Amino acid sequence: MHVPLVVTEFLDRAVAHYGDETGVIDQDKEWSYRQVNKRVNQLSHGLKALQISKGDKVAYLAPNGLEMLEGFYGVFQIGAVMTPLNTRLKPEDYLFILNHSESKVLFVDYTLLTQIEPIRERLTFVETIIVHGLSQKQEEEGQLAYEPWLQSFSDEPFKRAEVDETDIASLLYTSGTTGNPKGVMLSHRSNYLHALSTMHHLQITDEDTLLHVLPMFHVNGWGSPFYYTANGAKQVMQRKIDPAEIFAAIEKYGVTICHMAPTVLNMLLEYFDNNKDLLAINQNMRIVIAGSAPPPTFVKRVEEDLGWTFIQVYGMTEISPLITTSKPRRQHKNMKKEERYQTQAKTGYAMIGSTVRVIDKVGEDVPHDGATIGEIVTRSNNVMEGYWKNAEATAETIKDGYLYTGDMAVVDENGYIQIVDRKKDVIISGGENISSIEVEACLYEHPAVLETAIVAAPHEKWGEVPHAVVVLREEGAATEKELIDFARKQLAHFKAPKEISFKNELPKTASGKIQKVQIRKELWGDTGRLVN
């Protein structure tokens, strides 16, 4: 028997087994899964009334909230394609994505309307703009207020379009270092199998309460609207990154799990250090980290200071996105603490459903010596169908049955992968390869360093050298010389930063990932290239 793997099944399961249980909490309002499902049906009926049909693109520009979550399922019932937009882009970026994706309907939060207004007249496919958070009295020409519009439709079960598992479910745009963003096409099958694998490795159950810290536009919130819904877990919406609010929500709602980037975790650790009088911290917490490699000191602080369980995962938009976890395997549970923290900070080993290799330039697996660098490639059910309207980029990324990630890594004797850098972030100084991640981990050991990013800076003699951009905990808490000397005591001298810039903050994506390309552009100026 062949039953298509379609993600609408996840909400069906939640309604069947947890229909009257709390499903979503948003700004202190609660909805059961049955109530959420009724709103999803209203949304699908509304989209049908707008002539949206199978294969049409429906875009969302919104923070985490009930409206965003119900969008996934309401759009999927039509057989349409969910196109979430990064909330921190510029109007011209939205113009490109909305026109390139051929999105016909745009749902936008009222707080983000100012990002759409400058480009509205140049949108070639968007026919309807529906605004979250507006009343009918606030509607302007060409806008519909979401809640009144939604409530005008029946909540009776919607007759779904016939959807095959290979049909595209979501179209996600990734920003590269050059050129326009690429639209990643993920099928129902990819999202479904990713959900099954990830829920297993994160041990998701109906007793979990997720705080949606990671934006849901970011690779479908790492697929979280799917596998937490399937398990009937409570989902608490966090609309902005605010450490005080996050700690308060964890306490108030008994949150058991959060997903976030290392920079957001760093904000929580810093807030905790400055607020030792916090209410009792929920010890039944797992913190799931991805986006960039965290230093082992983060693992130690999470597990010893906060008493939470640290889980490192790895992936990318093109893979739905997660394919590895660093949770120590059974045979490695007896490690000493420091060794275990080092292991937990690694990229890890393959999740079920993914083959993950690190290969050299001729396609051979690198030895498990923790030193030989290769590129991570994967063969997985999670892999995208390709880049929307970009066959050339697709062919460059998927070759010989594998997706090439562009991440450079080593493999230790136990088979744990450890990323040493993105291809573009490896610093080649005088012919020597330097891992920016290694240097960053060193500087994070200094008590004055709050955040840091290591990038290549141009150099006449060596071509390029490590340059550190540092945010200090307190102004003047450390000097450039002090930090360089500190690094030289722990690293080979050629790896230590040659100079340091001090900043009040580092440029970040909406998910909290540090944008190194912006830092490099500042250092390389008008050279027209970012390497020597």
Higher pLDDT pick, 426 / 397 = 397
Q: Using one digit for the tens of pLDDT, what is the confidence trace for 200-210?
A: 999 999 999 99
The reported pLDDT for the residue numbered 364 is 98
Among 378, 402, 422, the domain boundary falls at: 422
On whether residue 446 sits in a domain, the answer given is yes
Task: Confirm if 69 and 225 have CB atoms less than 8 A apart.
Answer: yes
SS3 109: strand
Higher pLDDT pick, 449 / 89 = 449
d(C-alpha 411, C-alpha 343), whole Å: 11
On whether residue 2 sits in a domain, the answer given is no
Which residue, 77, 81, 515, 29, is CA-closest to 239? 29
Among 369, 398, 422, the domain boundary falls at: 422
The reported pLDDT for the residue numbered 179 is 66
Q: How confident is the model at residue 141 (pLDDT cuts 50, 70, 90)?
A: confident
Q: Using one digit for the tens of pLDDT, what is the confidence trace for 361-414?
A: 999 999 999 999 999 999 999 999 999 999 999 999 999 999 999 999 999 999
Q: Does residue 532 surpass a pLDDT of 60?
A: no
On whether residue 195 sits in a domain, the answer given is no
Statement to judge: residues 178 and 315 lie in one domain: no
Mean pLDDT on 65-80: 98
Q: Does residue 531 surpass a pLDDT of 70?
A: no
On whether residue 219 sits in a domain, the answer given is no
Statement to judge: residues 438 and 392 lie in one domain: no
The reported pLDDT for the residue numbered 239 is 95
Q: Does residue 442 surpass a pLDDT of 60?
A: yes
Q: Does residue 530 surpass a pLDDT of 60?
A: no
Q: Does residue 277 surpass a pLDDT of 80?
A: no
Statement to judge: residues 254 and 395 lie in one domain: yes
d(C-alpha 63, C-alpha 46), whole Å: 21
Statement to judge: residues 300 and 341 lie in one domain: yes
The reported pLDDT for the residue numbered 263 is 81
CA 309 to chain centre: 19
Q: Does residue 31 surpass a pLDDT of 80?
A: yes
The reported pLDDT for the residue numbered 359 is 98
Higher pLDDT pick, 335 / 44 = 44
| Rounded (to 5) percent helix, strand, coil in the chain | 35, 25, 40
Statement to judge: residues 263 and 181 lie in one domain: no
Statement to judge: residues 394 and 457 lie in one domain: no
Mean pLDDT on 209-231: 97
On whether residue 230 sits in a domain, the answer given is no
CATH code, domain with 281: 3.40.50.12780
Percent of the chain with pLDDT over 90: 77
Task: Confirm if 112 and 87 have CB atoms less than 8 A apart.
Answer: yes
On whether residue 404 sits in a domain, the answer given is yes
The reported pLDDT for the residue numbered 529 is 45
Q: Using one digit for the tens of pLDDT, what is the confidence trace for 477-523?
A: 899 999 999 999 988 788 899 999 999 999 987 667 788 888 888 88
Higher pLDDT pick, 374 / 274 = 374
Q: How confident is the model at residue 157 (pLDDT cuts 50, 70, 90)?
A: very high
* Cβ burial 347-370 (10 Å sphere, 16+ → b, else e): bbbbbebbebbbbeeeeeebebee
d(C-alpha 144, C-alpha 492), whole Å: 61
Q: Does residue 429 surpass a pLDDT of 90?
A: no
Statement to judge: residues 287 and 401 lie in one domain: yes
The reported pLDDT for the residue numbered 79 is 98
Q: Using one digit for the tens of pLDDT, what is the confidence trace for 160-214?
A: 999 999 999 999 998 654 568 899 999 999 999 999 999 999 999 999 999 999 9
d(C-alpha 510, C-alpha 217), whole Å: 9
Q: Using one digit for the tens of pLDDT, what is the confidence trace for 302-353?
A: 999 899 999 999 999 999 999 999 999 999 888 999 999 999 999 999 999 9
Statement to judge: residues 289 and 411 lie in one domain: yes
On whether residue 494 sits in a domain, the answer given is yes
Residue 395 belongs to what domain range?
Answer: 241-422
Q: Does residue 426 surpass a pLDDT of 80?
A: no
Statement to judge: residues 500 and 405 lie in one domain: no
Statement to judge: residues 140 and 283 lie in one domain: no
The reported pLDDT for the residue numbered 436 is 87
Q: How confident is the model at residue 281 (pLDDT cuts 50, 70, 90)?
A: confident
Q: What is the pTM of this model?
A: 0.87
Statement to judge: residues 290 and 357 lie in one domain: yes
Among 165, 186, 207, the domain boundary falls at: 186
On whether residue 221 sits in a domain, the answer given is no
CATH code, domain with 74: 3.40.50.980
Count how many domains the chain has. Answer: 3
Please give the C-alpha separations between residue 107 and each of 104, 127, 223, 224, 523, in angstroms, as whole numbers: 10, 11, 20, 20, 38
Statement to judge: residues 391 and 263 lie in one domain: yes
